Amino acid sequence: MARKDNKGFTLLELLVAVVILAVIIVPMLRSFVSSYRVNARSRENMRATTLAQNEMEIFEKEKIEDLLDTTKFGYTVTKKPDETNVNDPGLYEFTKLGIINDESGKDWYDVVVKLNPERVTASDLYYAQNTQDILFMNTISGIDSGSYIQRVRNDVNENGEDEEVYKLYMTRQHPEGVTGNKWDTQRFAEELTRKITVKIEQEDQGGYKTTVAKVRYDYMIDHIWGIVPDEYEKYTTKDRVFFNNSQTLDEDGKPVELKSLYLFYAPRYDTTNVDEIVIENENKLPVNIYIIRQNILDPSSPTTGVELDDEIVQNARQVPVGYHASIEIKEGFDADGKTFGKYFTNLNLMDSSSLTNPGTTDLKLYDYDNPGRVFTKNEIIEYTSLKSLETTEAKDRIYTMEALVYTHGADRDTEEPLVRLTGTKIE
């Protein structure tokens, strides 16, 4: 019968085996830990880089006015230009804290985006572009903005070429059945009143809200010399659509939201009547609306071109001191007590005429939710955020952009960011 050998490992052999395993496993564990840390850091940097890229895309696409609105994008502006200081470099600094950029909800980041126009001195990068006096029409976006430009010269109506009513001038001189004094050009212009209406409408299309902006001109003869049939007392143009986003979609397939509307109108410089302009924003859209009185040419000038050159500027007809305009805004009010639209104009908003910006402007405000409410002129200016624009406006257009991403709670004065990306923003 064979004898079994039950002899096991000795203590010394076990110790040697443990030492051998430790020599092999410890470096492996260190390698695993190091690899985990590298991968975690890479994931963190990748998320931070993605976050920085996303923020830069927002800043490249959106206007500064919208970015400053905390209700839209949630940025805190920790530094912005001092409008009272001509030497201020115009630096913007936007901050957003505690951004979660992963599904686990564990990785939080702080983001800082800096915009610098670099226009302090002539040696700065964008000094020339950011100190141009005139903002040309090609700087207006055709994607999220609409512009209506009334042409400004005609043989019959030297004050406004695009007004169809003047094409009927010759017919109205001797219409059938009309008796009394003959209309001449001056009398026709003096008796004619005009109202320009800009209407913003929304409707549902396939579950999405589409926006359309239209402009319409209404005319009426105030003082009739003789007997005039009804068809010669009033004239209304067809609605001209100058914004429609039903076919303009964003990356999500939704209609691009309307941000700005520009009405460039040709004034009627007879001081007996009022240029009446009405803005209807019944759907209470947050839109920037610009009402711009164009300069018109002196009819004695031989210049017929439309290029912006010294000759045309010199021959632009000056605004008469007695020029009278009226702006009526039909709107609603938001939670802050302001109208949803924000308004801008180069018309004179002062109570008296000035040499630099002559003429006077009446203001009216109609509240859709409270039709009987009466507003003073100062209240209308405050509630509508109505700002007066000069005929030319210097504006920063090009910024160097820097996006910095930090670990949430990091001391940004002493710690380096996880990611630093740079780019350019064109305003």
The three state secondary structure string of the chain is CCCCCCCCCCHHHHHHHHHHHHHHHHHHHHHHHHHHHHHHHHHHHHHHHHHHHHHHHHHHHCCHHHHCCHHHHCCEEEECCCCCCCCCCCCEEEEEEEEECCCCCCCEEEEEEEEECCCCCCCCCCCCHHHCCCCCHHHCCCCCEEEEECCCCCCCCCCCCCCHHHHHHHHHHCCCCCCCCCCCHHHHHHHEEEEEEEEEEEEEECCEEEEEEEEEEEEEECCCCCCCCHHHCEEECCCEEEEECCCCECCCCCECCCCEEEEEECCCCCCCCCEEEEEECCCCCCCEEEEEECCEECCCCCCCCCCCCHHHHHCEECCCCCCEEEEEEEECECCCCCECCEEEECCCCCCCCCCCCCCEEEEEEEECCCCCCCCCHHHHHHHCCCEECCCCCCCCCEEEEEEEEEECCCCCCCCCCCEEEEEEEEC
Would you state the structure tokens that stand for residue 154, as one six-digit string? 């005609």
> 224-228 contacts: CB < 8 A, separation 24 or more?
224/180, 224/191, 225/180, 225/181, 225/183, 225/187, 225/191, 226/178, 226/179, 226/180, 226/181, 227/177, 227/178, 227/179, 227/180, 228/175, 228/178
Whether the pLDDT of residue 283 is over 90: the answer is: yes
For 106-140, the pLDDT digits (tens) are 678 999 999 988 766 666 666 666 665 444 444 56
Q: With cut-offs at 50, 70 and 90, classify the pLDDT of residue 160.
A: very low
Whether the pLDDT of residue 359 is over 50: the answer is: yes
* Most confident residue range from 23-37, 197-211, 217-231: 197-211
Closest CA to 75 of 59, 57, 61, 91: 59
For 308-338, the pLDDT digits (tens) are 444 545 556 677 777 889 999 999 999 889 9
Report the alpha-carbon distance of residue 163 to residue 158 in Å, rounded. 11
What confidence score (pLDDT) does residue 194 get? Answer: 85
For residue 243, the cross-strand partners are 213
What burial class does residue 386 get, using C-beta atoms within 10 Å of its C-beta: 0-12 exposed, 13-18 middle, 19+ buried? buried
Q: With cut-offs at 50, 70 and 90, classify the pLDDT of residue 100.
A: confident
Predicted model pTM = 0.61
Give mean pLDDT, residues 190-213: 86
Cα 64-69-71 angle, rounded to 5 deg: 145
Closest CA to 266 of 312, 191, 317: 317
Whether the pLDDT of residue 215 is over 60: the answer is: yes
Report the alpha-carbon distance of residue 426 to residue 117 in Å, rounded. 10
Return the C-alpha torsion angle 12, 14, 15, 20, nearest 10: 130
Whether the pLDDT of residue 294 is over 60: the answer is: yes
> 378-382 contacts: CB < 8 A, separation 24 or more?
380/329, 381/349
Rg of the Cα trace of the chain? 33
Give mean pLDDT, residues 358-383: 92
| Pair 111, 55: CB distance under 8 Å | yes
What confidence score (pLDDT) does residue 362 get? Answer: 93
Give mean pLDDT, residues 66-83: 83
